[in-house]
């Protein structure tokens, strides 16, 4: 298992995570399920990694949403459909502590 940092860009995950927050993530996605917050390759833009919450998951795909209650604040599965699980890069463990 490797850990990495993902930086939140935008307000789609507010109020859970704020723009600019640094998230500690794991590349072990074997245990993700509904309600996991994941980092994934955007299905339509190959140069973009996104951070969203899994709302529904099956053996091949996941439906992901941002936490922001404003429907215009998040580009997610409502816009681009379910994502293939092969697009998963990691799962968020926690916010990086400020020292």
Provide the pLDDT for residue 34: 97
User: Listing from the earlier edge strand, what are the strands of the sheet with 61-65?
Assistant: 3-7, 22-26, 88-95, 37-41, 49-57, 61-65, 83-84
**Structural domain of 62:** 3-95
- State the total domains in the chain: 1
Please determine, for residue 41, whether its predicted confidence score (pLDDT) is greater than 80. Answer: yes
| 30: CATH | 2.10.109.10
Confidence of residue 99 (pLDDT cuts 50, 70, 90): low
The rounded percent of the chain whose pLDDT value lies above 70 is 99
5 by Cβ neighbours in 10 Å (0-12 / 13-18 / 19+) ranks as exposed
For the question of whether the overall pTM of this predicted structure is more than 0.75, the answer is yes
């Amino acid at each position: 298992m490797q850990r990495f940092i993902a930086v939140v860009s935008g307000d789609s995950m507010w109020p859970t995570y704020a723009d600019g927050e640094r998230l500690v993530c794991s590349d072990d996605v074997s245990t993700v399920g509904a309600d996991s917050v994941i980092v994934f390759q955007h299905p339509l833009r190959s140069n973009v990694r996104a951070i969203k919450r899994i709302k529904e998951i099956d053996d091949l795909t996941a439906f992901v949403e941002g936490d922001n209650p404003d429907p215009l604040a998040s580009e997610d599965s409502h816009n681009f459909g379910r994502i293939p699980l092969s697009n998963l890069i990691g799962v968020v463990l926690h916010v990086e502590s400020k020292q």
